[in-house]
Amino acid sequence: MSSGQESIFSEYETDTSQTSKLLRKFKETPFVPIGFAMVVGYGLYRLKHRGDMKMSLHLIHMRVAAQGFVVGAITCGVLYSMFRDYVMKPKE
C-alpha cells in the first residue's frame, strides 16, 4: 500500500466504534436519517390503517412514498447547502 492510501484509511480506522461512525455520518448528512425515520414512521402508520388493501399494493405505495421522501431530503439538503454557502457566508 502506498503512503497516500494509508493516510486515507487511517482516518476511518481510528473511529472503530459503531456509535462514533454513526454520529460522524449523521453530522455529515443530517437529512438522510431524518428522511429515513419519516419513511419508516409513515410506513408503520399506513400499515396499521391500510384496511383491506392488499400487501403488494401497500408495498408499491410505500416504494413511491420512499422515493418521494428521498427526493425531498435531497432537495432540503441542497437548499440548506445553498443557504449556508450564499446567505450565511461570512463577509470577506
Residue 44 and residue 79 share a domain: no
Residue 11: how many CB atoms within 10 A of its CB?
A: 9
Predicted model pTM: 0.52
Is residue 82 located within the same domain as residue 60?
A: yes
Examine the domain organization and report whether 9 and 32 are in the same domain: yes
Which pLDDT belongs to residue 17?
81
In this structure, how many other beta carbons lie within 10 angstroms of the beta carbon of residue 73? 20
Q: Does one domain contain both 67 and 44?
A: no
| Residue 62 structural domain | 53-91
For residue range 43-53, what is the model confidence (pLDDT) as tens digits? 888 888 888 88
- Tell me how many domains the chain contains: 2
Does residue 63 sit in the same domain as residue 26? no
Same domain, 40 and 30: yes
Q: Are residues 67 and 26 in the same domain?
A: no
Q: Where are the alpha helices (DSSP H) in 1-92?
A: 3-14, 18-28, 31-48, 55-82
Give the pLDDT confidence of 6-41 residue by residue, as tens digits.
555 555 555 568 888 778 877 887 777 777 788 788
Does 58 lie in the same domain as 34? no
Q: Is 29 left (phi over 0), alpha (psi -120 to 50) or beta?
A: beta
